[in-house]
Amino acid sequence: MINKTQLLSLFLALLFLSSCYNYKSMRLLQDGNTSLPNYQKTDYSDYKIRVNDEIIYRLISDDETGLSKLISPETGSGGQNQISYRVYTDGTIDLPFVSNIQVKGLTLNEASLAVEKRFRELIPKATIKLSLANKTFSVFGDAGYGVFPIYKEKLTIFQALSLAGDFNESSDRRHIRIIREVNSGTQILEFDIRPKSIIDSKYYYIYPNDIIYVKREFSSFYKVTNYSTLLGVITFSMSLLFNVLNYSK
């Protein structure tokens, strides 16, 4: 039979586990907290085209022969439903009247110049602008779910997560993960999002096709959201303890 000492120990353990969230430690952009990691600033690197990327091109020309109109991509109202062209496994792309253009590993600006060079063999004053059709990222886990567009250059981790929603109180802010496809394979970046030094670090910007994973904090199972809930847990525990003690007499 359980004695009083064991019951008291069980009661104290329950109170210890049923703690409240420490909102001070959960704050973002903390500065001067030596217990948090200090990330180094890194220069922003432009996205480089990969195999299976979908490319959209725009041709700008004052050509009066009508050839530029024939080559220009068809668009719907307001530029919607633009035709995209996939980057093949050999890193090349085929566009109308020009083919086998090597674009893998190039930034969009570099690829635009490479495509423009080929088009100028047909239209001397052609100007080419390239963009990505698959310019999206994904979020899943304890901070929302969904696939979202990268609506601006240099989209930050905070802007990306705000599109999915907000952190839950149970979200593990210490171990955010970004799953990123690079030419050498799949890269997993894990970081603590709380320190201010996250700004301009290698974890700060989101690239096309990134997957952001926010896991649930394991200890959240034992935590309550506010002190009124904690008081309810204590009251229930004390009532249970007294009932068991009375029953054991």
Based on the fold, state whether residues 126 and 139 are members of the same structural domain. no
The strand pairing partners of 137, in sequence order, are 148
Residue in this structure with the two tokens 């201010």, named with its chain if needed: 196
**Nearest by Cα to 91 from 56, 48, 131:** 48
Q: What is the sign, positive or negative, of the torsion defined by CA atoms of 96, 101, 106, 111?
A: negative
Based on the fold, state whether residues 122 and 141 are members of the same structural domain. no
Based on the fold, state whether residues 177 and 230 are members of the same structural domain. no
What would the pLDDT profile of 152-162 be if each residue is shown by its tens digit? 999 999 999 99
Based on the fold, state whether residues 83 and 195 are members of the same structural domain. no
Based on the fold, state whether residues 16 and 139 are members of the same structural domain. no
Check which CATH number belongs to the domain holding 89 and give it. 3.30.1950.10
**Nearest by Cα to 198 from 162, 164, 173:** 173
Question: Which residue segment(s) compose the domain that 244 sits in?
Answer: 4-20+224-248
Listed in sequence order, the residues at least 6 apart from 52 whose beta carbon sits closer than 8 Å to its beta carbon are 86, 87
Those residues of the chain that have pLDDT short of 50 are 1, 17-18, 75-79, 220-222, 224, 227, 230
* Domains identified in the chain, total number: 3
Based on the fold, state whether residues 237 and 197 are members of the same structural domain. no
The per-residue pLDDT for 165 is 87
> Can you give the pTM of this predicted structure?
0.76
Based on the fold, state whether residues 123 and 147 are members of the same structural domain. no
| Cα radius of gyration rounded to whole Å, the chain | 28
Give the whole-angstrom CA distance, residue 152 versus residue 109.
16
Check which CATH number belongs to the domain holding 214 and give it. 3.10.560.10
Based on the fold, state whether residues 217 and 231 are members of the same structural domain. no
Based on the fold, state whether residues 110 and 233 are members of the same structural domain. no
Based on the fold, state whether residues 126 and 192 are members of the same structural domain. no
What would the pLDDT profile of 20-51 be if each residue is shown by its tens digit? 555 677 899 999 899 999 999 999 999 999 99
Final residue before a domain boundary, out of 101, 132, 163: 132
